[in-house]
Chain A
Amino acid sequence: MVRTGSVAVLAIGAFLGAVPAWAQDSIKIGVNEPLTGAVAASGNYVTNGARIAEEMLNAQGGVLGKKIQLIIEDNKSNPKEAVSAAEKLIVRDKVPVMMGAWSSTFTLAVMPKLIEYSVPMVVETSSSGKITTSGNPWVFRIAPTSAMEARAFGEKLGQLNPPIKKADFLAVNNDFGRGASDEFRKMLEAKGVKVGVTETMAPEATDLSAQLARIKQSDGDTLFVTTGVEQITLVLKQAAEQRLPHRIITTGGSSSPDQLIAQAGDAANNSYHILFFAPWFPEKAVNPDIAKAFVEAWNKKGYEFAGLTEGFRGYDGITTIAAAIKAAGKAEPQAIRDALWNTKVSGVNGNIAFTKEGPAGKESGQNQPNIYIVQIKGGKVTLP
Chain B
Amino acid sequence: MPEFLQHLANAVVLGGTYALLGIGLTLIFGIMRVVNFTHGELYTFGAYMAFMLAGLFGLNFFVSLALAATLGFLLGALIEFTLLRPLKGADIDTTMLVMIGAWIAMQAGQQLMWGGVAKSVPNPFPTEPVVLGPVSVGPIRLFVLAVAVVLLAVFYLLINRTKLGVAMRATFQDPDTAALMGVNNGLMYTLTFAIGSGLAAIAGALLGPIFVVTPTMGDLVALKAFAIVILGGLGNIPGATIGGFVLALVEEFGAGYVSSGYRDAMGFLLIIAVLAVRPQGLFAAKERIG
Contact = CB atoms under 8 A, between A and B. Distances in A.
Given A200-B260, A210-B7, A213-B256, A36 B111 contact: yes
Contacts, number: 112
B263 interface: yes
A190 B14 CA distance: 40
Interface in A202-254: 202, 204-207, 209-211, 213-214, 216-217, 229-230, 233-234, 237-238, 240-243
B256 A243 contact: no
A122 to B, nearest CB: 23
Interface stretch (B20-28, B82-90, B115-123): B115-123
B118 A40 contact: yes
A202 B264 contact: yes
B6 interface: yes
A309 to B, nearest CB: 14
Nearest to A307: B117
Contact of A241 (B3, B111, B127, B212): B127
A237 B127 contact: yes
A211 B127 contact: no
A209 B2 contact: no
A264 B211 CA distance: 10
Given A210-B10, A210-B260, A266-B127, A243 B116 contact: no
Contacts of A242: 6, 129, 136
Contact of B116 (A40, A199, A214, A264): A40
A41 B137 contact: no
A370 interface: no
A43 interface: yes
**SS class of chain A's interface: helix, strand, loop or mixed?**
helix
B6 A44 contact: no
Given A43-B116, A210-B7, A210-B252, A200 B261 contact: yes
B118 A233 contact: yes
Given A201-B260, A241-B127, A213 B3 contact: yes
A173 interface: yes
B116 A44 contact: yes
Instruction: Identify the interface centre among B131, B215, B255, B264: most chain A CB within 10 Å of its CB.
Output: B255
B223 to A, nearest CB: 11
Contacts of B217: 206
Interface in A340-381: none
A199 B260 contact: yes
B284 to A, nearest CB: 27
B263 A267 contact: no
Contact of A38 (B10, B14, B214): B214
A37 interface: yes
A32 to B, nearest CB: 15
Contacts of B277: none
A202 B261 contact: yes
A206 B10 CA distance: 13
A263 interface: yes
Interface in A8-37: 34-37
Contact of B117 (A41, A200, A205, A264): A41
Contact of B216 (A36, A43, A200, A266): A36
B261 A262 contact: no
A265 interface: yes
Given A36-B215, A210-B260, A263-B212, A44 B14 contact: no
A216 B220 CA distance: 27
A214 to B, nearest CB: 5
Nearest to B221: A206
Given A205-B264, A209-B14, A210-B10, A243 B118 contact: no
Contacts of B211: 206-207, 234
Nearest to A243: B136
Contacts of A205: 263-264
B116 A37 contact: yes
Nearest to B259: A200
B129 A41 contact: no
B238 interface: no
Contact of B120 (A40, A173, A213, A263): A263
A311 to B, nearest CB: 13
Contacts of A238: 138
B39 interface: no
Contacts of A38: 214, 216
Nearest to A214: B256
Contacts of B136: 241-243
A23 to B, nearest CB: 30
Nearest to B6: A213
22 contacts: A40-B214, A41-B116, A204-B216, A204-B220, A206-B217, A209-B10, A210-B256, A211-B255, A213-B6, A213-B10, A214-B256, A233-B212, A234-B212, A238-B138, A240-B138, A241-B136, A242-B136, A243-B136, A263-B118, A263-B212, A264-B120, A265-B127
Given A237-B210, A243-B129, A264-B120, 5 more contacts: A37-B116, A40-B118, A211-B255, A237-B138, A243-B136
